[in-house]
Structures are given as structure tokens and as C-alpha cells.
């Protein structure tokens, strides 16, 4: 029912009964096959590149990634090199919190560190958290979702009860608890955020498989005796890629936000770690009597990163899953 | 339906034990004892540990905790040297000479008033006594009762005396304000964007929603703090943004900032859900009948578009709870989120457990209510068969 109506929506015809709808569907199929055959990915890239916001997001994301990779060349100073102007007659401890200048694009922090250098090195932490966390989430969530969705039965019940328990935890609480047990090194930050967010991936994958596993081509594959691992790998996994990519692309900014908040509370790294959350916390303590740029710049970096990733993720969703986007701009 | 409700309620049991067990083990694995920091002599520390039962085996502590928890005794707060219990901090003190009408009686009275109102409405609409009772045989008698009860409870929450209130009250107020803001802003914006699809209005609204979705609430809160400081210094006023016992008015700004992200999520979802509905045949039928656009959009469009929104409402409220931890920390609101964070930093086991279980129970309860509402709004869903979806 829903499928027919969406087909009708796609080719814009007002076919009133099933026969007519099928005719229309066939004619549009002819039209499709007449066109040079593109793979799904080429089509998706075409749709994505037409979306201006998504492309803007992509450019910013690439710039941020370059900034993180080439941090030592871009930062100009070491992030933990106490910097002070030797020509100034002021004593050392009065030079804290310099306003932005040509020497210090973003000013300096309380320990006379160059804020720009710290922000640049902080991008390494934030981006790596986003990527590694989602990699771990994939490693845990994807197999569990596959098993729960495809095999069903008691395995499904067991996995879903565990997912229920994790769902009832606000994930921030779990990550916080985790970090206070295992200490605040970056590895545990990755694991803490991943462990508290994997159920989202499991639910998405399981839901997709429940819809997929009764499709005709899956049953056909099983009927001709294709082995279960092969069905999973060759027939189900490729169909999952779209939704999983979208979930990952929205999960990365989510992980970055979580890491920033954990740093803000002060449970990640140590005070000298240049993570954006730590910088924000330092700015919060100091901005009332000092240049507010100390707080504004780290905040803006978090917002810029998360926003460009979300723009990209939104475009990816429209490009990979045109049905779910419900009439995106590109259509 | 009854069987479904019982099944769902039974699901609370494994979740409750799972949550308490995980939290208990994790909280007790936090390195260091809660009483290490005070440089106590070893003998005194052992004595304190003994007094709080911390020297017993872990499984014994867990069972004692669970039994006490179910009896309403959530333990003393270690952070405050046991001078206050967790329930006192979270739910407030009960004044000794509390008098007045019991709460369940108040709720009963509200139900009676709601039904009387229904009766009066039936009387106005028709003269015969049989038709007067007609509203009672319709589905929405339940809805009217629930709306009246929820409305009254919300009224009580916002009129309670805060002088000896606990953290839960402030968190509830914050959450309710943010929730209302989320729906009041998110749904209309989504509907407008869908109706004006591919116009500049649509582009502006979707971009704004995407931006709102991208700003973490604690960053938004900090930017608001900067704005307040700047405004204070420019106009010479003295707005305080983090009072120790916030009034409802003080909570409005944090609630707006908390609700912004969720409102944009709801707006995006409403838009795509409306776009799906707009293409349906019954919308064209409604147009052909000559109904005005407002009726079509709300009665035929939104009513059907609301079902997908309802399914994510539970998750969105859980998102509000998570966001409330950050907003309460930024604005220093004495809610349960802030007590959780300070409990973690102080290794206050009973506080960590109490707040976590409270959060978890709220999430479970919200999802339960959403499931019931789902069945109400979408009669096609039957809970009788195959409820394990």
C-alpha cells in the first residue's frame, strides 16, 4: 500500500487502480533503463552534489580534517607552550587572557597558551572521537542487529532486552559513570561513548532487516540454497549500507557533542588536554572578567563542526534514501 | 489491550533490575572510597564504612539496597555526610504537619469535574436525556479524563511551594516547559514548511531547523550566558541567570534552550511526515469536497501525520532528559541532572543510583505512555495479537 503510493508519488501520476499503477510503473521502468545505467552510488553522488548545503558541509568537514591532520603546521605554536610577550613590561601573570591579535588569532588562555593552537589541536581529539566511536558502534551494533533481526527467536529477545536496558539509561549518564571508573584517557572516552550509544545502531539495523528478510529476492536466494552467511553478506548487507551510512553520519556529530560535554564537566583528559570541551569549561570560568572570545571561539568551533557534519548527513540521507527524506529539495 | 498493558508493565521488571545492577556495579567500581578524601584516621574510616554497610560483600549490599529502595528508602547521601537522604534531596522534605485533601482525592474530584463538564456539553447539544449521555460512549471520554488529570497534575507541579522542594520538582518543571515549547514550535513550523514546500519559506525553515539541530544545548546555554553578561554590562541591569532556588520564570530561558534542539528534530520530522500525507488520496478528496485549507491541513493532514511524530516522542523526551543534565549543569539549576553529576564527582553511590534509576524509570514510563497513545491515535494497531513488535 505505502509502496504503491510512494511509487505514484515518484512518477507523479494519478493512477487510480492497481493495473494502471503497474502500467505506469513499467513505463517508468522503461524510461529508467533507457538512460545510461548508473550505479546506486553514482546516482547518490549526483543527488548529493546538487544539494548546496550538503556540499558546503562537505567542504568544511574536509577543511577541518585537513586542519586536524596538519595541526603542527597550522597551529603556529605548541598547544602547551606557555606564551608571553617578553617585551611587555607587565609581569607574567598579568598577561593571561590576551584578546585576539595578529600574534594570537584567538587570544590566549589562562596559562598563556595560544588559544588558536589549542583549538587546532583540539580538532584532532573531537574528530577522532567522532570517527573511532562510530567505528566501535558499528563493530558492536551491526553484528548484534544482524543476528537479532535475521535469526529472531530467543537470541532476538535477549539482545532486545539488553537494548531496552541501555535505552532506559540516558546515554550521557552511562558515559559519565564509565569514565569515572576507568579514568579519563582518550581510549576510555572512545569506549565510554561507544558503549552507551551502540543500541541505536542495533535498533536501526534490526528494523531494516525485519523489513528486508521477507523480500522476494532474499527468499529466492534462500530457496536456491545460498548459505546463510552468504545471504547476509551478499544480499542483506549491501541493502543495509544506505541507512547505516546515514546513521553513522548523524552519530559522528552526536559523539562529538557528547565528548565536548564530558570535557566541559571535566572528566576527560587532564586540564592541559586541549579538548574543545575543556577549553569551553575554562572559558566559562573566565569570560566574565576577561575577553569573552575565550568562551566564544571554542563554542563556535564545536557548533561549526557539528553543523557541517549534520548538513552533510542530511544531504546523505536525502541522496541515499530518497523515500525517507519525503520530498527533499533536490527532487 | 489489557494483556498488552500487563506485558509492558512486566517488561519494567528486567529493565529495573538491569539498570540497578549495572549502575550498582559501576558506581562501586569507581576507584577510591567516598570517605577517602577527608584524611580520616583508618579506624574512623572503617567505622564509617561499617555504619553505611560498605564493608559487607557487594551482593549483600545490592540486595539490601534493592529492598530498601522498594520500601522508599534510597539511602543517605554520602556527599552530605549522611545528613540528608537521597529522597529528601530529590523529592524534598515532607513537612511534619502536612494537612489538606489527599492527592488521590483531588484527582478524583478533577475527574468528576471533567465528567460533569462532558455531561453539561451533552446537555447543551441535545434535549433528550439519551443523547445527553452520548459523549460517554465515545472513545474520547478517556481522552478528556486524561487531559483533565494531566492538566491538574501539571498545575500542581507549577504551583507547589519551592521552599523545601527537591531536585525532581525543578527538573519536572524544566522538562515540562521544554516539552511544551518543543511541540508548540516544532509541529507548526514543520506543517508550514510542508505546506509551502520548495518555496523560500520552506528553505528558510528547514535550514533554521538544521542549524537548531546542530547546536548542542550546553553550548547554546553558554552563548546565552554571554548574551546576558553583555546585556547586563550595556544596560546596567543585573539579571541573575543562575539563582539557587529558581522560580518558574527563571526556568523559562533554560527550558527554551533545552527545547530548541528537540523542537528542530520535531519540525524536521513533522515536515517529512506531512509531505508523505499530502500526497494521499484522501487529501485530494477533502480538497474536492471544498473544505477550507486550514481544516484540510489540521484535521486531515496533521491528524494522520501525527502518528510518526508520536513514535519518536518517547525518544525525544529521553533526549530532553539527557539535555536537562547539561542545561542544569550550565545554569546551575538544582535538578536531578546536577545532583547526578555532583554525585559522580563525589562518589556518592546512593545519589548516583537514585538519580539513574529515577531517570530510567521516567524513560520507561514515558515509552509506556507513548505506546498507549500510539494505539489510541492509530486504531489500525492492535495490541491483542503479536505484541512483541
* Residue in A with minimal Cα distance to B8: A164
Tell whether A327 lies on the interface with B, counting CB pairs under 8 A: yes
Tell whether B318 lies on the interface with A, counting CB pairs under 8 A: yes
Other CB atoms closer than 10 Å to residue A187's CB: what's the count?
10
Tell whether B228 lies on the interface with A, counting CB pairs under 8 A: no
Pick the residue with more confidence: B200 or B283?
B200
Choose the closest CB to B23 out of A177, A183, A287.
A177
Tell whether B276 lies on the interface with A, counting CB pairs under 8 A: yes
Residue B314: is it exposed, middle or buried by C-beta count within 10 angstroms (0-12/13-18/19+)?
A: buried
Instruction: Tell me the average pLDDT of chain B.
Output: 79
Q: What is the pLDDT of residue B189?
A: 92
Q: How far apart are CA B155 and CA B143, in angstroms?
A: 18
Tell whether B218 lies on the interface with A, counting CB pairs under 8 A: yes
With a CB-CB cutoff of 8 Å, which residues 96-155 of chain B face chain A?
A: none
For residue A25, give the H/E element and its range: helix A18-34
Q: What is the pLDDT of residue A19?
A: 47
Q: What cell does B124 get? A: 447543551
Tell whether B209 lies on the interface with A, counting CB pairs under 8 A: no
DSSP one-letter string for B13-37:
HHHHHHHHHHHHHHHHHSSS-TTST
Q: What is the pLDDT of residue A2?
A: 41
Q: What is the mean pLDDT of residues B350-374?
A: 82
Q: How far apart are CA A120 and CA A71, in angstroms?
A: 6
Lowest mean pLDDT among A13-17, A282-286, B224-228: A13-17
Task: Please report how the helices A237-265 and A276-286 are oriented relative to each other, as an axis angle in degrees rounded to 10.
Answer: 30
Task: For residue B366, name the pLDDT band (cuts at 50, 70, 90).
Answer: confident
Q: What is the pLDDT of residue B182?
A: 92
Give backbone dihedrals phi and psi of A108, rounded to 5 degrees, phi first.
-125, 165
Cβ atoms of residues A204 and A247 within 8 Å = yes
Q: Do A296 and B356 touch (CB under 8 A)?
A: no
Q: Is the pLDDT confidence value at A137 over 70?
A: yes
* Interface size, chain A vs chain B, as Cβ–Cβ contacts under 8 Å: 134
Distance from CA of A223 to the nearest CA of B (A): 26
Task: For residue A256, name the pLDDT band (cuts at 50, 70, 90).
Answer: very high
Q: What is the mean pLDDT of residues B127-131?
A: 60
Q: What is the pLDDT of residue A35?
A: 55
Cα first-last separation, chain B: 14
Using an 8 Å CB-CB cutoff, list chain A residues near B215.
303, 306-307
Note whether ipTM > 0.85 here.
no
Task: For residue A85, name the pLDDT band (cuts at 50, 70, 90).
Answer: low
Q: Each residue of A296-315: pLDDT tens digit?
A: 888 899 999 999 999 999 88
Q: What is the mean pLDDT of residues B33-41?
A: 63
Q: What is the pLDDT of residue B33?
A: 65
Q: What is the mean pLDDT of residues B105-133?
A: 74
Pick the residue with more confidence: A102 or A3?
A102
Tell whether B30 lies on the interface with A, counting CB pairs under 8 A: yes
Q: What is the pLDDT of residue B180?
A: 92
Pick the residue with more confidence: B129 or A259?
A259
Q: Is the pLDDT confidence value at A139 over 80?
A: yes
Q: How far apart are CA A52 and CA B266, in angstroms?
A: 23
Q: What is the pLDDT of residue B156?
A: 82
Cβ atoms of residues B352 and B344 within 8 Å = yes
Pick the residue with more confidence: B219 or B132?
B219
Choose the closest CB to A310 out of B214, B271, B318.
B214
Distance from CA of A9 to the nearest CA of B (A): 7
Q: What is the pLDDT of residue A65?
A: 92
Instruction: Tell me the average pLDDT of chain A.
Output: 78
* Residue in B with minimal Cα distance to A284: B222
Q: How far apart are CA B224 and CA B215, in angstroms?
A: 12
Using an 8 Å CB-CB cutoff, list chain B residues near A165.
14-15, 18-19, 22
Tell whether B21 lies on the interface with A, counting CB pairs under 8 A: no
Please state the separation of Cα A71 from the chain's center in Å: 22
Cβ atoms of residues B203 and A328 within 8 Å = no
Q: What is the pLDDT of residue A61?
A: 93
Q: What is the mean pLDDT of residues A192-205?
A: 90
Cβ atoms of residues A220 and A203 within 8 Å = no
Residue A297: is it exposed, middle or buried by C-beta count within 10 angstroms (0-12/13-18/19+)?
A: buried
Residue B199 three-state SS: coil
Q: Do A311 and B279 touch (CB under 8 A)?
A: no
Q: Do B19 and A325 touch (CB under 8 A)?
A: no
Q: What is the pLDDT of residue A1?
A: 39
Q: What is the mean pLDDT of residues A43-63?
A: 88
Tell whether A325 lies on the interface with B, counting CB pairs under 8 A: yes
- Cα–Cα distances (Å) from B277 to A6, A140, B195, B270, B291, in that order, read 11, 36, 11, 10, 17
Alpha helices by DSSP H, listed for A88-227, are 115-151, 153-168, 171-182, 186-212, 216-223
Q: Is the pLDDT confidence value at B64 over 60?
A: yes
Tell whether A314 lies on the interface with B, counting CB pairs under 8 A: yes
Tell whether A276 lies on the interface with B, counting CB pairs under 8 A: no
Grid look-up 541493502 returns A239
Q: Do A265 and B280 touch (CB under 8 A)?
A: no
Distance from CA of B323 to the nearest CA of A (A): 9
Cβ atoms of residues B107 and B149 within 8 Å = yes
Q: What is the pLDDT of residue A101?
A: 72
* Residue in A with minimal Cα distance to B338: A265
Tell whether B353 lies on the interface with A, counting CB pairs under 8 A: no
Task: For residue A77, name the pLDDT band (cuts at 50, 70, 90).
Answer: confident
* Residue in B with minimal Cα distance to A298: B219
Distance from CA of B172 to the nearest CA of A (A): 16
Pick the residue with more confidence: B295 or B239?
B295
Tell whether B225 lies on the interface with A, counting CB pairs under 8 A: yes
For residue A285, give the H/E element and its range: helix A276-286
Distance from CA of A329 to the nearest CA of B (A): 7
Provide the percentage of residues in chain B whose pLDDT is more than 70: 83
Q: Which of A183-197, B222-236, B359-373 has the highest mean pLDDT?
A: A183-197
Q: Do A314 and B352 touch (CB under 8 A)?
A: no
What number of helices (H) and strands (E) belong to chain A?
Answer: 15, 0
Pick the residue with more confidence: B217 or B35?
B217
B76 strand-pairing partners: B85
Task: For residue A6, name the pLDDT band (cuts at 50, 70, 90).
Answer: very low
Q: What is the pLDDT of residue A96?
A: 66
Q: How far apart are CA A300 and CA A304, in angstroms?
A: 6
Q: What is the pLDDT of residue A74?
A: 76
What number of helices (H) and strands (E) belong to chain B?
Answer: 16, 0
- Cα–Cα distances (Å) from A34 to A23, A31, A38, in that order, read 17, 5, 11
Task: For residue A14, name the pLDDT band (cuts at 50, 70, 90).
Answer: very low
Residue B111: is it exposed, middle or buried by C-beta count within 10 angstroms (0-12/13-18/19+)?
A: middle
Give backbone dihedrals phi and psi of A53, rounded to 5 degrees, phi first.
-60, -45
Q: Is the pLDDT confidence value at A93 over 60?
A: no
Q: What is the pLDDT of residue A304?
A: 92
Q: What is the mean pLDDT of residues A39-43?
A: 76
Task: Give the CA radius of gyration of chain A.
Answer: 25
Q: What is the pLDDT of residue B299?
A: 76
Q: Is the pLDDT confidence value at B35 over 70?
A: no
Q: What is the mean pLDDT of residues A213-220?
A: 85
Q: What is the pLDDT of residue A128?
A: 93
Task: For residue A16, name the pLDDT band (cuts at 50, 70, 90).
Answer: very low
Q: How far apart are CA B220 and CA B201, in angstroms?
A: 24
Cβ atoms of residues A9 and B279 within 8 Å = yes
Q: Is the pLDDT confidence value at A164 over 70?
A: yes
Q: How far apart are CA A83 and CA B167, in angstroms?
A: 44
With a CB-CB cutoff of 8 Å, which residues 245-274 of chain B face chain A?
A: 271-273
Tell whether B210 lies on the interface with A, counting CB pairs under 8 A: yes
Tell whether A195 lies on the interface with B, counting CB pairs under 8 A: no
Task: For residue A176, name the pLDDT band (cuts at 50, 70, 90).
Answer: confident
Q: What is the pLDDT of residue A91?
A: 52
* Residue in A with minimal Cα distance to B232: A288
* Residue in A with minimal Cα distance to B345: A180
Provide the percentage of residues in chain A whose pLDDT is more than 90: 18
Cβ atoms of residues B52 and B82 within 8 Å = yes
Cβ atoms of residues A149 and A206 within 8 Å = yes
Q: Each residue of B150-208: pLDDT tens digit?
A: 888 888 888 777 777 778 888 888 989 999 999 999 999 998 998 888 889 988 998 89
Question: Closest Cα partner for B212 from B239, B182, B171, B236?
Answer: B182
- Tell me which of B218, B318, B370 to substitute to probe the interface with A (most A C-beta atoms closer than 10 Å): B218
- Tell me which of A180, A199, A295, A329 to substitute to probe the interface with B (most B C-beta atoms closer than 10 Å): A180
Q: Is the pLDDT confidence value at A24 over 60?
A: no
Cβ atoms of residues B275 and A327 within 8 Å = yes
Amino acid at each position: 500500500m505505502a509502496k504503491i503510493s510512494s511509487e505514484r508519488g515518484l512518477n507523479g501520476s494519478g493512477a487510480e487502480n492497481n493495473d494502471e499503477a503497474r502500467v505506469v510503473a513499467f513505463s517508468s521502468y522503461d524510461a529508467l533503463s533507457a538512460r545510461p545505467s548508473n550505479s546506486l552510488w553514482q546516482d547518490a553522488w549526483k543527488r548529493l552534489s546538487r544539494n548546496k548545503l550538503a556540499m558546503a558541509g562537505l567542504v568544511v568537514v574536509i577543511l577541518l580534517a585537513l586542519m586536524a591532520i596538519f595541526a603542527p603546521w597550522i597551529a603556529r605554536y605548541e598547544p602547551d607552550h606557555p606564551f608571553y610577550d617578553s617585551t611587555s613590561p607587565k609581569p607574567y601573570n598579568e598577561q593571561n587572557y590576551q584578546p585576539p591579535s595578529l600574534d594570537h588569532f584567538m587570544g590566549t588562555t589562562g596559562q598563556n597558551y595560544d588559544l588558536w593552537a589549542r583549538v587546532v589541536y583540539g580538532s584532532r581529539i573531537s574528530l577522532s572521537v567522532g570517527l573511532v566511536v562510530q567505528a566501535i558502534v558499528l563493530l558492536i551494533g551491526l553484528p548484534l542487529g544482524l543476528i537479532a533481526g535475521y535469526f529472531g527467536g530467543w537470541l532476538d529477545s535477549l539482545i532486545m532486552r539488553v537494548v531496552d536496558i541501555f535505552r532506559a539509561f540516558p546515554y550521557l549518564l552511562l558515559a559519565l559513570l564509565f569514565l569515572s571508573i576507568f579514568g579519563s584517557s582518550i581510549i576510555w572516552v572512545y569506549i565510554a561513548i561507544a558503549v552507551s550509544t551502540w543500541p541505536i545502531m542495533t535498533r536501526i539495523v534490526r528494523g531494516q532487516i525485519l523489513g528486508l528478510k521477507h523480500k522476494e529476492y532474499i527468499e529466492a536466494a534462500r530457496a536456491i540454497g545460498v548459505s546463510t552467511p552468504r545471504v547476509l553478506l551478499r544480499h542483506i548487507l549491501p541493502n543495509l549500507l544506505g541507512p547505516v551510512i546515514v546513521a553513522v553520519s548523524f552519530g559522528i556529530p552526536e559523539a562529538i557533542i557528547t565528548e565536548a560535554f564530558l570535557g566541559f564537566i571535566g572528566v576527560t583528559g587532564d586540564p592541559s588536554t586541549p579538548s574543545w570541551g575543556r577549553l569551553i569549561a575554562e572559558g566559562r570560568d573566565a569570560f566574565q572578567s576577561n575577553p569573552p572570545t575565550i568562551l566564544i571561539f571554542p563554542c563556535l568551533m564545536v557548533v561549526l563542526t557539528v553543523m557541517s557534519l549534520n548538513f552533510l548527513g542530511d544531504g546523505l540521507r536525502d541522496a541515499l534514501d530518497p523515500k525517507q527524506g519525503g520530498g527533499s529539495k533536490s527532487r | 489491550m489489557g494483556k498488552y498493558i500487563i506485558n509492558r508493565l512486566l517488561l519494567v521488571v528486567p529493565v529495573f533490575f538491569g539498570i540497578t545492577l549495572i549502575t550498582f556495579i559501576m558506581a562501586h567500581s569507581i576507584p577510591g572510597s567516598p570517605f577517602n578524601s577527608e584524611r580520616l584516621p583508618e579506624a574512623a574510616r572503617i567505622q564509617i564504612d561499617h555504619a553505611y554497610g560498605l564493608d559487607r560483600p557487594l551482593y549483600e549490599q545490592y540486595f539490601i539496597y534493592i529492598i530498601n529502595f522498594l520500601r522508599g528508602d534510597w539511602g543517605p547521601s554520602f556527599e552530605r555526610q549522611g545528613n540528608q537522604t537521597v529522597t529528601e534531596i530529590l523529592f524534598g522534605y515532607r513537612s511534619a504537619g502536612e494537612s489538606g485533601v489527599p492527592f488521590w482525592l483531588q484527582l478524583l474530584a478533577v475527574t468528576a469535574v471533567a465528567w460533569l463538564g462532558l455531561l453539561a456539553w451533552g446537555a447543551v447539544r441535545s434535549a433528550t436525556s439519551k443523547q445527553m449521555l452520548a459523549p460517554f460512549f465515545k472513545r474520547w471520554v478517556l481522552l478528556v479524563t486524561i487531559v483533565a488529570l494531566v492538566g491538574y497534575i501539571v498545575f500542581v507541579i507549577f504551583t507547589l511551594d519551592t521552599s523545601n522542594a527537591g531536585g525532581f520538582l525543578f527538573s519536572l518543571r524544566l522538562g515540562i516547559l521544554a516539552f511544551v515549547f518543543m511541540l508548540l514550535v516544532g509541529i507548526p513550523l514543520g506543517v508550514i514548511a510542508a505546506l509551502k514546500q520548495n518555496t523560500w519559506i520552506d528553505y528558510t525553515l528547514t535550514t533554521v531547523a538544521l542549524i537548531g539541530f546542530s547546536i548542542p544545548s550546553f553550548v547554546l546555554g553558554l552563548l546565552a550566558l554571554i548574551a546576558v553578561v553583555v546585556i547586563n554590562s550595556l544596560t546596567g541591569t543585573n539579571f541573575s541567570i543562575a539563582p539557587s532556588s529558581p522560580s518558574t520564570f527563571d526556568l523559562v530561558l533554560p527550558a527554551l534552550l533545552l527545547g530548541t534542539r528537540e523542537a528542530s528534530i520535531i519540525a524536521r520530522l513533522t515536515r517529512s511526515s506531512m509531505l508523505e500525507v499530502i500526497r494521499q488520496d484522501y487529501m485530494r478528496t477533502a480538497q474536492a469536497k471544498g473544505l477550507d485549507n486550514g481544516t484540510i491541513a489540521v484535521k486531515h493532514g496533521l491528524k494522520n501525520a501525527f502518528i510518526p511524530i508520536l513514535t519518536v516522542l518517547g525518544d525525544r523526551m529521553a533526549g530532553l532528559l539527557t539535555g536537562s543534565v547539561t542545561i542544569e549543569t550550565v545554569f546551575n539549576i538544582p535538578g536531578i541532572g546536577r545532583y547526578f553529576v555532583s554525585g559522580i564527582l563525589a562518589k556518592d553511590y546512593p545519589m548516583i543510583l537514585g538519580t539513574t534509576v529515577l531517570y530510567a524509570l521516567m524513560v520507561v514510563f514515558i515509552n509506556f505512555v507513548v505506546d498507549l497513545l500510539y494505539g489510541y491515535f492509530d486504531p489500525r494497531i492492535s495490541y491483542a495479537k503479536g505484541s512483541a513488535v
